Amino acid sequence: MSVSLASSPIDDGFAPHVAQLSALAPEAVLTDPDLYGSRLTDWRGAMTGTTPFVLAPRDVETAARLIKYCADHRLPIVPQGGNTGLVGGGIPQGEILLSTEKMKAIRALDADNNSAIVEAGVTLADLRAAAASIDRQFPMSLGSQGSATIGGLASTNAGGVQVLRHGMMRDLVFGVEAVLPDGRIFRGLHGLRKNNVGYDLKHLFLGAEGTLGLITAVSVKLAPIPRSTAAAFIATPTIASAVALLNLARDLSGDAVSAFELMPDIGLDLVCRHIPGATRPLPNVKAPWWVLMELSYGRDDGVEDALEAILMEASDRHLTLDAAIARNEAQAKAFWRIRETLPEAEKKHARAVKHDVSTPISALDSFYREATAAISARWPQAQIIAFGHVGDGNLHYNVSARAPAEAQSLLKDSKAIQDVVYDCVIRHHGSISAEHGIGILKKDALKSRADPVALALMRSIKAAIDPHNLFNPGRLIDV
């Protein structure tokens, strides 16, 4: 299913605005579609939008001037960072695209306070490299880190593979600087671990998906770099056994599990088929599920011994079928490459009906079985590719076609498939969006399932901060 959004209102009516905005900040107004065309299609290629022109301010003061002009003239805006979002929230439907691509300064790195202040357009990879330069880590890691920006990660409350140990963006942000929809600047940047002065306003912007203004900078927590890490690629019979393995590993390691990623066997097949150079860590082993587990220690030694002891105990308890331990960094990287390229391999196989869901960890196995039985009974051409951050109770539960030629027959039933999966998630006390957000694609699913009081509160907050519905209108919630 390819979604083509409302046609662009580009016409002469915008010329005076372009002239006025250019007078405010000449280098920030982009009118040549050749310069921004690729920003109008989302990462999955499922959605293409339009914009009359793009604003790309270099700093917060310029952003504030431009946004105030747009507010005064009731011009709606869609913020965009790296355009790696997966729910269509950053693709304009005729609104002005406001890009953070030029807001790239790392304003401060503070090793003693274990914190950094970074502008919205800095990529996750660049922040991680900057933190490493002062012997610290920014403890977030995900497949899109070369493009995803700090502003986008904060706006979607992103997760990734280190959530188990360090939490999501809401756990990693001390403070936020943002331009409100009327052009005022909220200066909430600080590096405080304790700060009890009423409402914690940064949380309005974290996970708001750009509906409450433009995040221009964020102050974030840094953490010590682990001194030793060990990784294993583990065959396991069921999701329940993977969950038992996780809890065993946490117990035996003194809670040193730093990542715990689940993949189905079909996922390994797809990676080996579509990603050059990828191979199975245990070529002769077939298992329904695979776990990539990583332990990290703050000291230099003992981590491999701990991993081996866990795997022996897990095997005795019949939680695992086989396992490969990475004996060097190259092997560990090869394990991670399988996990990180799985979305790309899946995309190359066929378009799928995707779900990014969470349940309590203890309910994951039951959710998977129930949802899969219901989908298989109604759509025999489907195969489930479910993978993700099991340590966080998060599965990317994707309904794909066994044969690429059958993909269309599933995509045309997207809504019915999603209803089956989301209703099963709700029965298991889960969430229909674990880490990707709501955007456009999940808005109706949220509206029909969310607590009405929660929806009313969200609408009240939106109306208070953006009374003219100018920032990301039509995303996340309808007003």
215 vs 314, beta carbon nearer ligand FAD: 215
The window from 20-28, 151-159, 249-257, 364-372 that contacts ligand FAD (CB under 6 A) reads: 151-159
Query: Segment 327-346, which members bind ligand FAD (CB under 6 A)?
Result: 343
144 binds ligand FAD (CB under 6 A): yes
Q: How far is the CB of 299 from ligand FAD (least distance, A)?
A: 28
Q: Nearer Cβ to ligand FAD, position 84 or 398? A: 84
From the CA atom positions of the chain, what is the Rg in Å? 23
Chain positions 368 to 407 lying near ligand FAD, rule: CB under 6 A, are none
List 50, 62, 84, 253, residue binding ligand FAD (CB under 6 A): 84
Q: How far is the CB of 194 from ligand FAD (least distance, A)?
A: 26
- Give CA–CA dist 426/201, Å, rounded: 29
- Mark residues 104-143: x for contact with ligand FAD by CB under 6 A, - for none: ----------------x---------------------xx
CB of 253 to ligand FAD, least distance (A): 23
Among 159, 264, 267, 281, interactor with ligand FAD by CB under 6 A: 159
**Residue 472 interacting with ligand FAD (CB under 6 A):** yes
167 belongs to the binding site for ligand FAD (CB under 6 A): no
Residue 355 found at the interface with ligand FAD (CB under 6 A): no
Q: Contacting ligand FAD (CB under 6 A), which of 149, 219, 236, 433?
A: 149
Number of residues that bind ligand FAD (CB under 6 A): 38
82 binds ligand FAD per the rule CB under 6 A: yes
What's the Cα-to-Cα distance from 390 to each of 179, 183, 233, 246, rounded to whole Å?
36, 41, 14, 9
Q: How far is the CB of 86 from ligand FAD (least distance, A)?
A: 5
Chain residue at closest Cβ approach to ligand FAD: 152
- Give the residue, chosen from 76, 92, 139, 151, that forms a contact with ligand FAD under the rule CB under 6 A: 151
Which residue, 263 or 325, has its beta carbon nearer to ligand FAD? 263
Per CB under 6 A, the segment of 48-56, 82-90, 292-300, 368-376 that binds ligand FAD is: 82-90
- Cα–Cα distance measured from residue 405 to residue 22, given in angstroms and rounded to the nearest whole number: 49
Which of 88/281 has CB closer to ligand FAD?
Answer: 88
Write out the binding residues for ligand FAD, residues 176-235 only, by CB under 6 A: 209-210, 214-215
Binding site for ligand FAD (CB under 6 A): 43, 78-86, 89-90, 100, 120, 142-144, 147-149, 151-153, 155-156, 158-160, 209-210, 214-215, 343, 435-436, 439, 472, 475
